[in-house]
Structure 1
Amino acid sequence: MMVSFSEMLTAARRQHYAVGSFNVYNYETIRGVVESGRETGTPVIVAFGAGYLPNMEVAEVAGLVRTMGAASPTPVALHLDHCKSFEVIETAVKCGFSSVMYDGSALPFEENMKNTARVVALAHAAGVGVEAELGALARGEHSNEEDASEIYTSPAEARIFVAETKVDALAVSIGTVHGMYKGEPKVDVGVLKTIAAAVDIPLVLHGGSGTPEPIIRACIAEGIAKINVNTEISVNAVEKIRALLATGRSWHLSEISREEVGFVKEVVKKYIALFRPV
């Protein structure tokens, strides 16, 4: 069943668990995420990043997820991830996305706040949730995100930003990275705790791939209600497909596609188990 993004995350923060937001790029990854939710009885967010528009059109993603989500007895939300384009956001809202993320994290604070408020007005008029981001994540290995210098989220700015924009969820920067970590993760849960005390909306952790379990659980305990996982899905599927092809067997593309769904589910189910309450 398709559900409200905002209600899904509000329940997660209140009950101290996190909903997994899993990036998709094609039919197989969408199917892998939705089936993982159904098979574990767990809410999932299907996240389509604006950077993957060369792979699929927004309307195509919406159509597939609505069809699969309607057939699933467990909650499914459809999220537009990391988007800087007002035009693409408007298209996603019209196509029935549950939520959109306006990513103005690289902009000056005032400009990010102004643009986010504009997106909130557009999306809320259609009953669509909005996520925004303050601060910036560093770039890890195997990431297709733009290179960036890490900037931690300011709790004081977060309080002002949330009050002025009326966003439904806020992505924070506390030391995680886009992609896989190049070294020892240095995540500042103390900063997160201060941010959580400053705002009353669900908080989002980007860069879930490879983050150690104790850090994940500590972040959930301090207000993280949505955790993004992208790179590990891709890395696992690519490595497993490479191994299949190396067997020397003559594979049909349809068989590889079915195997890919399973490889996606391996990672998604791993994180679903981690994000649940202990």
Structure 2
Amino acid sequence: MLVPLKEVLNDARKNKYAVPAFDCVNDIMVRTILDTAEQENSPVILMCLEHNLNEPKGFVYLAEYIKAVVSFYQIPIVLHLDHAMDLELVKKAVQFGFTSVMIDGSSLPLEENMAITREVVKYVQQHGISVEAELGHVGGHELGGTYASDSKLTEPSQVETFVQKTGVDALAVSIGTSHGIYHSEPDLNIIRTKEINDVSPVPLVLHGGSGTPNVQLKEVITNGISKINLYADCRVAMAKGMKEAAAAINRVDPLPEEMFRPITQALAAVVKEKIHLFRSNNRT
């Protein structure tokens, strides 16, 4: 069943677990993630990126497909627009039934970030849609692999004002992670996380969860992180499964289920691992 983001995050914050959020690009990922989450009785967030939504019929093959299948699952499912940079993309997400959007003004000056976030909140609140914004900036690599920008830690002193002036339902914070694959182990700022959580009126979100050591993820969950975004870990797992599938194929016309099985098995293993790591299993 489709639900707003704030519904699952408020419970996660109250009970000190995190809801896994997976960027997904096709039906194989959607089905594997949903099947695994339901087996573990875990709420889950399916995220879509502008990069994929802007492909020909991207909104149809992602949003419409997800909406068509969620009624067959008993777990809470959030359909989330990840990293929207402007209001026009948000409007299209509303049109296609998303239950949550992230407006990313983190690379803008603070006042401009608040202004565009307020504009999005005002537009979507009449539709019962949750809004996530980012304060501070999580940098790292673009989807193409090129380095985009450095991260800038979130200032706890700005959090309460930002939330009050924008009306957001969740706040993505920068505490030491980055997007993409790490070339050295990150060192998350646990003290900063706790300071932010102590003053934040809304649940906190961690971007760049892939590749972050488990012990650090457990610590930030204990200290206030309620949603963790994952994509690179899924891509790594699927690539491993693809190599296994290619090595095992011994006929010129393999059945699709035989080709896809190692890929879905590798992805399902990662999804299950994250659900247990975040303690979101048996929460529905």
Equivalence map 1:92-241=2 (5 Å): 92-139=93-140, 144=145, 147-241=148-242
| 1:23 shift after superposition | 0.8
The amino acid of 1:21's aligned partner reads: A
The amino acid of 1:262's aligned partner reads: Q
| 1:30 shift after superposition | 0.9
TM-score by length of 1: 0.94
CA distance in 2, matches of 1:20, 1:277: 8
CA distance in 2, matches of 1:229, 1:129: 19
Contact 2:103 2:133 in 1 (8 A): yes
Match of 1:260 in 2: 263
| 1:51 shift after superposition | 2.3
| 1:104 shift after superposition | 0.7
Check 1:257–1:128 CA distance in 2 against 1; reply closer, same or farther (3 A cut): same
Q: Equivalent pairs: percent with the same residue?
A: 36
SS at match of 1:136: coil
| 1:200 shift after superposition | 1.5
SS at match of 2:21: strand
The amino acid of 1:267's aligned partner reads: V
Provide, for residues 83-122 of structure 1, a one-character-per-residue CA deviation record: whole Å limited to 9, x for no partner: 1131111111121111000011111111010000000011
Match of 1:246 in 2: 247
The amino acid of 1:275's aligned partner reads: F
Counterpart of 1:269 (choices 254, 267, 272) is 272
Q: Which moved more, 1:147-156 or 1:242-251?
A: 242-251
Provide, for residues 36-80 of structure 1, a one-character-per-residue CA deviation record: whole Å limited to 9, x for no partner: 111111100111111222556223322211222110011111100
TM-score by length of 2: 0.92
Contact 1:143 1:178 in 2 (8 A): no
Match of 1:41 in 2: 41
CA distance in 2, matches of 1:3, 1:79: 10
Match of 1:13 in 2: 13
Match of 1:26 in 2: 26
CA distance in 2, matches of 1:186, 1:258: 35
Check 1:144–1:20 CA distance in 2 against 1; reply closer, same or farther (3 A cut): farther
CA distance in 1, matches of 2:147, 2:46: 22
Provide, for residues 166-212 of structure 1, a one-character-per-residue CA deviation record: whole Å limited to 9, x for no partner: 10000000001111221121110111111111111000001111111
The amino acid of 2:131's aligned partner reads: V
Contact 2:240 2:266 in 1 (8 A): no
Provide, for residues 128-160 of structure 1, a one-character-per-residue CA deviation record: whole Å limited to 9, x for no partner: 000001112231597758611110011112221
The amino acid of 1:269's aligned partner reads: K
Contact 1:202 1:224 in 2 (8 A): yes
SS at match of 1:249: coil
Q: Which moved more, 1:33-42 or 1:136-145?
A: 136-145
CA distance in 2, matches of 1:111, 1:141: 23
Check 1:225–1:181 CA distance in 2 against 1; reply closer, same or farther (3 A cut): same
CA distance in 1, matches of 2:118, 2:146: 24
The amino acid of 2:278's aligned partner reads: F
Q: Unaligned regions of 5+ residues in structure 2, if any?
A: none
The amino acid of 1:10's aligned partner reads: N
CA distance in 1, matches of 2:240, 2:107: 32
Contact 2:141 2:147 in 1 (8 A): no
CA distance in 2, matches of 1:140, 1:88: 22
SS at match of 2:63: helix
Report how many aligned residue pairs link the two structures: 278
CA distance in 2, matches of 1:142, 1:218: 28
CA distance in 2, matches of 1:144, 1:120: 31
Give the superposed CA RMSD. 2.0
